[in-house]
Amino acid sequence: MTSVLWLRRDLRRGDHPALLAAREAAGDDRVCVLFVVDPGLWERGGPVRRAWLAASLKAAQEDFDGRLVIRHGDPATVVPAVAEEVGAGSVHVTREVTPAGRRRDQRVQDALDGTDVEWAETGTPYAVGPGLVRNGSGDPYKVYTPFYRAWHEHGWPQPAAYPRSLDLVDIDSHQEALDLLEEALRQDDLPEMPEAGEKAALARWRDFRDEALDDYDGDRDKPATDGTSRLSAYLKIGAIHPRTILADLASRRSQGAQTFEQEIAWREFYADVLLQNPRSAWHDLRQELSGMRYDEPADALEAWQQGRTGYPVVDAGMRQLLAVGWMHNRVRMITASFLTKDLHVWWPAGARWFLDRLVDGDIASNNHGWQWVAGTGTDASPYFRVFNPVTQGERFDPTGDYVRRWVPELRHLSGKAAHQPWKHDDGYAHDYPERIVDHAEERKEALDRYGAARS
C-alpha cells in the first residue's frame, strides 16, 4: 500500500532511515514524499530562514525527481488529507525532538486516530537520538564533558543505504506554497547564502574533510581563516546527516578530527538538554540567576544588531551575520557576551535576532549557546566569564584581517591596530562609531549584578 514520507528537518535522499521505512512499507506500491509549509511557522520565521528553506526545498525537488509534493496549511489537516488522497496505509517521519515539533506531531497523530493510516517514526536528526544517553543512575547528563564520553561510548549506526530507485507518487503541489517559496527567494536584502541541497552539503563536507579537517583544532578559532566546516546550515535543514560525517571521521586519527567529533557532540548535547528541559528553549535553564537585573533593549540593542557598537570584532561579527547569514562561532560567543554582559540585555533578545538571520538557526544549539555565554545554561560557573572584546579580537584575529574584511571604515589600520582605533590619531578617519559603552565599567557592573542575583 502507498506510504507517505513527510519531510521536515531531513531534506535529503541519502542516509535517510524514514525514507527506507516508507519504501519498505509501500512494498510494490509508491511513496508520496511530502513537505508542508506550515503558515504559523512560516510567518514567525525571519526572511533568511524562509529563504534558506525555500532554496533547500528547491534542491530537494531535484533530488526526488521533481516529485516532492509541497502543500500549504496546518499539518494536522494537510497530512491526513494527502494520506487519504493517495490511499496511504502509513505516514513516515523522522522523529522530532524540539518542543514545538513534538506538539505539532502529536496533533497530526491525533488527526490520524480513527483512520487506517499508521504513524511511523524512524530515526532522528542526530547520530544518537536525544534521550538515549544516560548516566549510571539512568538520568540525563547536565554537563557536556561526561555527556560526550558517554555519547562516544554509546556509538551510532552506520549511514543508511542510499535508495537509488524510488517509485514516487506524482500529485500536484499547492500553488500557494510554491508562490511563498518563490517570494521568499526574491526578498530584498537577503544575505549571500551557500548553495543549497544534499549535493552541495556532501561536496562541502568532502572539501573540508580533505583540505582542512586535520588543521581544524588549530584553525577553528580564527575567524579570518576558512578553517571551519560551514556544515551547520546543512545539518540544520537535514541536507546531510551527522552519521554520514561520523562514518568518515572514524578512520581519521588527527587531533582535528577528534575535535570536530566533539563539536558534533555539542550539537547532540544541546538537543538532549532541550528534550529533557523544553522550557529552556526561551527561559533560563538554571534558576540561580532568576533574580538577575537586566536593562530594557533600546538604542544599544539596535547598535549591536547593526554592527555599530564601536568595538571592531563585535561589529565585524554582526555585519558578517547580516551579509552572509552566518557568523564564526568564536565571534558568536564574543558578540553574545557583549550583549548580555556589556549591554546587560537578557539573552532571548539576542537569540531571536540570531535565529531570524542565521541560515543555520537551530533552537537547541543557538539558545543553549546563548545561555552558556549568559551564565544561565549548562556550564556550572560561567557567570564571571566576561569576554573582553579587545583582547578576544587581538587573540583570535591577530592580523586584524577579519575586522578589516567586515568593517571597511577600519581598513586603513594595519595589523592589531584595527582592534583599537581609539588609540590612533586617524582611527576614526572614515566615520567608524565611537564605543557606546566602556567595557571595563560594564564588566564591573555585570559582575555586581551577577553577585547580587546569586546572593
Kindly list the structural domains of the chain, giving each domain's residue range(s) and its CATH number in brackets, ordered by start: 1-123 (3.40.50.620), 124-158+198-276 (1.25.40.80), 287-454 (1.10.579.10)
Do residues 30 and 169 lie in contact, with contact meaning Cβ atoms separated by under 8 Å? yes
Nearest to 393 by CA among 340, 437, 337, 341: 337
Cα–Cα dist 231/330, whole Å: 16
Model confidence band, residue 379 (pLDDT cutoffs 50, 70, 90): confident
Cα–Cα dist 369/251, whole Å: 30
Do residues 314 and 400 lie in contact, with contact meaning Cβ atoms separated by under 8 Å? no
The residue-averaged pLDDT of 349-357 equals: 96
pLDDT at 55: 98
pLDDT at 380: 62
The residue-averaged pLDDT of 82-110 equals: 96
Determine which of 37-51, 144-158, 195-209, 376-390 has the lowest per-residue pLDDT on average. Answer: 376-390
C-alpha cell at 104: 505539532
pLDDT at 455: 81
pLDDT in tens, 247-256: 999 999 999 9
Model confidence band, residue 243 (pLDDT cutoffs 50, 70, 90): very high
Cα–Cα dist 360/59, whole Å: 17
Do residues 64 and 166 lie in contact, with contact meaning Cβ atoms separated by under 8 Å? yes
Determine which of 20-24, 178-182, 269-273, 284-288 has the lowest per-residue pLDDT on average. Answer: 284-288
pLDDT at 28: 86
Cα–Cα dist 237/8, whole Å: 8
Going by DSSP bridges, is the β-strand pair 118-121/90-93 parallel, antiparallel, or unpaired? parallel
- Give the CA distances from residue 30 to residues 27, 121, 166, 273, in Å, rounded to whole numbers and listed in that order: 8, 19, 8, 38
Do residues 335 and 318 lie in contact, with contact meaning Cβ atoms separated by under 8 Å? yes
pLDDT at 381: 64
C-alpha cell at 201: 552539503
Cα–Cα dist 82/117, whole Å: 11
Three-state SS for 323-382 is: HHCCCCHHHHHHHHHHHHHHCCCCHHHHHHHHHHHCCCCCHHHHHHHHHHHHCCCCCCCC
Q: Classify 433 as helix, strand or coil.
A: coil
- Give the CA distances from residue 96 to residues 51, 105, 114, 440, in Å, rounded to whole numbers and listed in that order: 22, 8, 23, 44
The DSSP secondary-structure symbol of 296 reads: P
Beta-carbon count within 10 A of 436 CB:
16
Cα–Cα dist 56/240, whole Å: 12
- Please state, for a pLDDT cut of 90, what percent of the chain lies above it: 92
Do residues 268 and 131 lie in contact, with contact meaning Cβ atoms separated by under 8 Å? no
Cα–Cα dist 386/374, whole Å: 9
The residue-averaged pLDDT of 139-147 equals: 95
List Cβ<8 Å contacts ≥24 apart for 297-303. 297/345, 297/349, 300/343, 300/345, 300/436, 300/437, 301/339, 301/343, 301/345, 301/349, 303/433, 303/436
Model confidence band, residue 290 (pLDDT cutoffs 50, 70, 90): confident
pLDDT in tens, 148-200: 999 999 999 999 999 988 999 999 999 999 999 999 999 998 999 999 999 99
Kindly tell me the burial class for residue 430, based on how many C-beta atoms sit within 10 Å of its own C-beta (0-12, 13-18, 19 or more). middle
Do residues 55 and 92 lie in contact, with contact meaning Cβ atoms separated by under 8 Å? no
> Higher pLDDT residue, 341 or 291?
341
Sheet holding 69-72, edge to edge: 69-72, 31-37, 3-7, 90-93, 118-121
User: How many residues are listed for the chain in this entry?
Assistant: 455
Do residues 237 and 53 lie in contact, with contact meaning Cβ atoms separated by under 8 Å? yes
Buried b (16+ CB within 10 A) or exposed e, 254-273: eebbeebbbebbbbbbbbbb
Beta-carbon count within 10 A of 82 CB:
21
CB under 8 Å to 39, separation ≥6 — which residues?
A: 72, 73, 74
Kindly tell me the burial class for residue 447, based on how many C-beta atoms sit within 10 Å of its own C-beta (0-12, 13-18, 19 or more). middle
The residue-averaged pLDDT of 291-295 equals: 92
Nearest to 205 by CA among 160, 264, 151: 264
β-bridge mates for residue 93, sequence order: 121
pLDDT in tens, 401-453: 999 999 999 999 999 999 999 999 999 999 999 999 999 999 999 999 999 98
